[in-house]
């Protein structure tokens, strides 16, 4: 059954005194308005519906685990955050619905729960290490793609388009970006040059970097035109660990690659 929905501006809901980041919510480190009673663990995803009545969707996850998205719709935006390690699989942030709405309406993110986008990954340069005080280049491996499946009993396609990239750098800072970024080589710049998606670490240590990619969705049945899906789906990429250290400069005799036994090499 379809429900009446109104497009909403999607965000991770929190109260004004809550200084937790989106990633900390996903990792179960923050207080929330409630926890779903019988939800299941789905790997690492969040679903953000529009408003209306409650609904449930299920489907296979891209990380090899069975995935079930439990969607709560309310008069105010509700965010469902699911991830490995949460006490009951999922947490609800916002106001849960008080009663179902029986009106029909447009297709929502819960209606396409069996369609799962490709799992994004986080890229970084240098790979798994950083130099304190210099730019580390981060980029997201995520792109627009089409997933085939079944919708309302018939064959259909869903097109997922990444629209936002949320980075938690593991050093107490984070960034909400609209660009995926790319490698230094593709940008035709030298190593350690600043990029729109780079970050500078100020202290040596080990850090865990987490990326969440938010997708907008469209669907079509047969060869009909693409139609917008209400709501967005956020997928949390596998976290990366990296070590930041200091670098020193020394004088050497010629090129160490040419003369590895030279002074300073």
Give the per-residue SS3 of the chain: CCCCCCCCCCCCCCCCCCCCCHHHHHCCCCCCCECCCCCCCCCEEEEECCCCCCEEEEEECCCCCEEEEEECCCCCCCEEEEECCCCCCEEEECCCCCCCCCCCCCCECCCCCCCCCCCCEEEEECCCEEECCCEEEEEEECCCEEEEEEECCEEEEEEEEEEEEEEECCCCCEEEECCCCCCHHHHCCCCCCCCCCEEECCCCEEEEEEEEEEEEEEEEECCCCCEECECEEEEECCCEEEEEECCCCCCCCCCCCCCCCCCCC
Q: What are the distances in angstroms from CA 203 to CA 23, 114, 191, 245, 247?
A: 21, 43, 20, 8, 12
229, 158 Cβ separation under 8 angstroms: yes
Which two structure tokens, joined as six digits, stand for 125? 């340069």
- Domains and their CATH numbers in the chain: 22-245 (2.60.40.10)
* C-alpha–C-alpha distance, residues 141 and 113, integer Å: 22
Instruction: Report pLDDT digits (tens) over 2-26.
Output: 333 333 333 333 333 445 555 555 5
**pLDDT score for 20:** 54
**pLDDT score for 257:** 75
**pLDDT score for 113:** 87
Tokens 């379809």 belong to residue: 2
* C-alpha–C-alpha distance, residues 25 and 246, integer Å: 32
Q: What are the distances in angstroms from CA 106 to CA 1, 155, 156, 160?
A: 11, 18, 15, 17
Which has the closest alpha carbon to 97: 46, 39, 34? 34
Instruction: Report pLDDT digits (tens) over 207-237.
Output: 999 999 999 999 999 889 999 999 999 999 9
Q: Is the pLDDT of residue 195 over 90?
A: yes
Which two structure tokens, joined as six digits, stand for 236? 């949390």
Q: Is the pLDDT of residue 178 over 80?
A: yes
* C-alpha–C-alpha distance, residues 36 and 94, integer Å: 12
Q: 54-63, 66-75, 116-125: which range is least confident on average?
A: 66-75
């Amino acid at each position: 059954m379809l429900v009446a929905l109104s497009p909403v501006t999607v965000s991770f809901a929190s109260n004004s005194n809550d200084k937790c980041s989106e990633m900390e919510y996903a990792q179960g480190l923050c207080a929330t308005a409630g926890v779903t009673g019988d939800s299941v663990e789905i790997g690492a995803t969040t679903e953000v519906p529009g408003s209306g009545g409650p609904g449930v969707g299920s489907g296979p996850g891209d990380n090899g685990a069975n995935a079930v998205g439990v969607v709560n719709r309310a008069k105010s935006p509700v965010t469902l955050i699911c991830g490995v390690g949460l006490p009951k699989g999922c947490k609800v942030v916002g106001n849960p619905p008080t009663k179902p709405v029986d009106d029909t309406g447009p297709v929502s993110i819960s209606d396409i729960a069996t369609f799962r986008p490709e799992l994004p990954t986080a890229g970084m340069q240098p790979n798994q290490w950083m130099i304190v005080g210099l730019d580390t280049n981060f980029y997201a491996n995520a792109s627009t793609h089409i997933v085939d499946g079944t919708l309302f009993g018939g064959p259909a396609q869903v097109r997922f388009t990444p629209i936002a990239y949320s980075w938690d750098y593991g050093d107490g800072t984070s960034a909400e970006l609209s660009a995926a970024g790319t490698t230094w080589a593709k940008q035709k710049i030298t190593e350690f040059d600043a990029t729109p998606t780079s970050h500078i670490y100020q202290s040596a240590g080990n850090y865990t970097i987490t990326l969440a990619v938010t997708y907008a969705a469209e669907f079509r049945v047969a060869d009909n035109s693409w139609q917008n899906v209400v709501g967005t789906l956020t997928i949390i990429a596998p976290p990366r660990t990296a070590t930041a250290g200091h670098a020193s400069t020394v004088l050497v005799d010629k090129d160490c690659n040419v003369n590895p036994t030279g002074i300073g090499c």
